[in-house]
Amino acid sequence: MKQIYPDLWQTSVEHPFVGVSSHAYLLIQSTGNILFYNASLREEYTRIKDLGGIAFQYLSHRDEVSPALSEIKEVFGSKLCCHRLEEQAVEKEASVDYLFEKREILFGSIEVIPTPGHTDGSMCFLVNSAFGKRYLFTGDTIYMNNGIWESQYARGSTSDLKNSLELLRDIGSAVIISSASIGADSFKEVSAESWRSDVNNVLRTLY
């Protein structure tokens, strides 16, 4: 694992598909650590235990489902969370403890944002870090392809995806962290202006 910010750790890279890189991210917080996305490398679990374990695992969408979900619950006693529309796919591997349905604030600092399009139940999570950064976990709603932002629908709809991207476009300055990427870049700090321009460029490819 690698520490990328004072309260955020990145797991080692995995390759779920040829040419695709993925990471999970552990947010350290006093109300219980949160693992965003999924990690199946068992050697990472020892380090995660040293960092205080996992209280909650947040999935952005069904493509993060793997047998590791049940193993993480068993090892850490964590609660698994996803959107209601992803529940059926997730429960093929592990029981779900909490379902997201609407935009809401958790723990006073984490905003849950439904962003249908890539899949009907895709989610993003906006974290206001105690250390001054804002982390936007986008799942596969928007990701980098060799340094260029990109988006595509999988089992959702193009119209929903456009609406979700328009919503994310106005988030402002943040660290954008996708669950997968093509190439080495998996997250990037952006200004409000550059992010808005980048999302507009992505939207043009969807029309």
Domain that holds residue 15: 2-206
- pLDDT at position 171: 95
**How many separate domains does the chain show?**
1
Q: Which residues contact 176 (CB under 8 A, 6 or more apart)?
A: 136, 138, 142, 187, 188, 189, 190, 195
pLDDT of the chain, 207 residues: tens digit per residue:
999 999 999 999 998 777 889 999 999 999 999 999 999 988 999 999 999 999 999 999 999 999 999 999 999 999 999 999 999 999 999 999 999 999 999 999 999 999 999 999 999 999 999 999 999 999 999 999 998 999 976 666 889 999 999 999 999 999 999 999 998 788 999 999 999 999 999 999 987
Q: What does the alpha-carbon distance between residue 193 and residue 68 come to, in Å, rounded to a whole number?
A: 38
Q: Which helix (H) or strand (E) holds 176?
A: strand 174-178
| Reported pTM | 0.95
Q: Which helix (H) or strand (E) holds 56?
A: strand 56-58
Strand partners, 9: 3, 26
Q: What does the alpha-carbon distance between residue 128 and residue 12 come to, in Å, rounded to a whole number?
A: 24
Residue 98's CATH number: 3.60.15.10
Strand partners, 181: 21
Neighbours of 38 (CB within 10 A): 25
- pLDDT at position 184: 75
